[in-house]
Amino acid sequence: MSGTKIPHRALDGVLLLDKPFGLSSNDALIKAKRIYLAKKAGHTGTLDPLATGLLPLCFGEATKFSQDLLDADKTYEATMRLGIRTTTGDAEGEAVDTREVTCDEAAVNAAMAAFLGDIVQIPPMYSALKRDGKPLYEYAHAGQTVERAGRNVTIHALRTIACALPLVTFRVTCSKGTYVRTLAEDIGEALGCGAHLTALRRTGVGALTLDGPVTLEQLAALDEAERDARLQPVDVLLSTFPAVRLDDEAARRFLHGQRLRLADLVNVADAAGARLDDGRVRVYALDGGRLLGVARAGEGVLAPERLIVAAQ
């Protein structure tokens, strides 16, 4: 019948999407949600339209834990073009400065080494960060430049993959909030010639990698059962947290939001058998191994933070 509303489905899980070039993270989410006819979905942090690669999408109960991937380290493979600086820091912008490239690969590697560890970045004007309630890119489009405070970020790993000057391809693992565009620009300035980013592909988010992700085109070609099989369990978002398993009575109390004394619990060791210190943990039921939620262990107490409703 014309105008009949198609019912949406209650799904719980995580889709490892390989986002295409030119599509925003939100547009990719909308397309995937439509393909699944899912009631509830969210992504785990934006990936620029000009970037490709790993974009974990959360459905149903998994959306409660998306913040854990927002806070996770990220890994990228990127290409920068030395000798040209642009308005946006990437290939989308207009060239504003052109300089001769006189460095060699050894100089590039030395410059990169100086950015390892804790550094301070000035966020780019073409970003979604807000100033007085307005995104910075709106000021930039209006030809305005506003003062931005430096942000502390950490570059855990940074190395050259290929160097065919003036193009340099590198791999970087960095903390949340790092702008790879800004990193490329800063490396270019350290080399005395400037630079801008020409390609960016995200290959890792926390413990998740580009091992077996699916494109939107591939997803649309699958039948419902095949698509559902592509969803990872909710706890794939929490794999770096120690695990705690509760007996039936402790699980019941936990799901009612009660704080539990660690001394009263049967199994409060992580997978390696180590006793838990202060920190966040994933909590399971001993019976069937169901994920119950996330808690914080500390000061002798297991305090619930976020619960899986379906587990109750």
Distances (CA, A) of 54 to 76, 228, 230, 266: 9, 19, 14, 38
pLDDT per position as a tens digit, 100-116: 999 999 999 999 999 99
Task: Name, in order, each residue with C-beta under 8 angstroms of 93's C-beta and a sequence gap of 6 or more.
Answer: 86, 87, 126, 196
Task: Name, in order, each residue with C-beta under 8 angstroms of 194's C-beta and a sequence gap of 6 or more.
Answer: 82, 83, 84, 85, 97, 98, 99, 185, 188
The answer to whether residues 172 and 158 touch, using CB atoms and an 8 Å cutoff, is yes
Query: Distance of alpha carbon 150 from its chain centroid, rounded?
Result: 21
User: Of 111, 89, 249, which is closest to residue 181 (Cα–Cα)?
Assistant: 89
pLDDT at 263: 78
Tell me which amino acid residue 146 is: V
On average, the pLDDT of the chain sits at: 88
What the block records as the tokens of 255 is: 């799901």
Burial class (CB in 10 A: 0-12, 13-18, 19+), 153: middle
pLDDT per position as a tens digit, 34-83: 999 999 999 887 888 889 999 999 999 999 988 888 888 999 999 999 99
pLDDT at 125: 67
Sign of torsion over alpha carbons 178, 203, 296, 276 = negative
> What CATH architecture applies to the domain 13-72+208-236?
2-Layer Sandwich (3.30)
pLDDT per position as a tens digit, 188-204: 999 999 999 999 999 99
pLDDT at 311: 46
User: Of 43, 284, 92, which is closest to residue 196 (Cα–Cα)?
Assistant: 92
User: Of 90, 280, 298, which is closest to residue 195 (Cα–Cα)?
Assistant: 90
User: Of 245, 235, 243, 242, which is closest to residue 287 (Cα–Cα)?
Assistant: 245
% of the chain with per-residue pLDDT over 70: 89
pLDDT at 127: 66
Q: What does the alpha-carbon distance between residue 106 and residue 113 come to, in Å, rounded to a whole number? A: 11
Mean pLDDT over 297-312 rounds to 81
pLDDT per position as a tens digit, 209-225: 998 899 999 999 999 99
pLDDT at 86: 95
Q: What does the alpha-carbon distance between residue 32 and residue 13 come to, in Å, rounded to a whole number? A: 13
Rounded-to-5 percentages of helix, strand, coil across the chain: 25, 35, 40
The CATH class, in words, for 74-205 is: alpha beta
Grade residue 154 by pLDDT with cuts at 50, 70 and 90.
very high
What the block records as the tokens of 267 is: 């199994």
User: Of 174, 132, 182, which is closest to residue 153 (Cα–Cα)?
Assistant: 174
Annotation marks residue 48 as catalytic = yes
* pTM of model > 0.75: yes
74-205 shares the fold of 13-72+208-236: yes
pLDDT of 310 higher than 60: no
Burial class (CB in 10 A: 0-12, 13-18, 19+), 125: buried
What the block records as the tokens of 187 is: 């490396």
pLDDT at 271: 42
- The residue from 12, 18, 27, 48 that is catalytic is 48
The CATH class, in words, for 241-311 is: mainly beta
Q: What does the alpha-carbon distance between residue 261 and residue 259 come to, in Å, rounded to a whole number? A: 7
* Distance from the first to the final alpha carbon of the chain: 38
pLDDT of 165 higher than 90: yes
Domain boundaries, the chain: 13-72+208-236, 74-205, 241-311
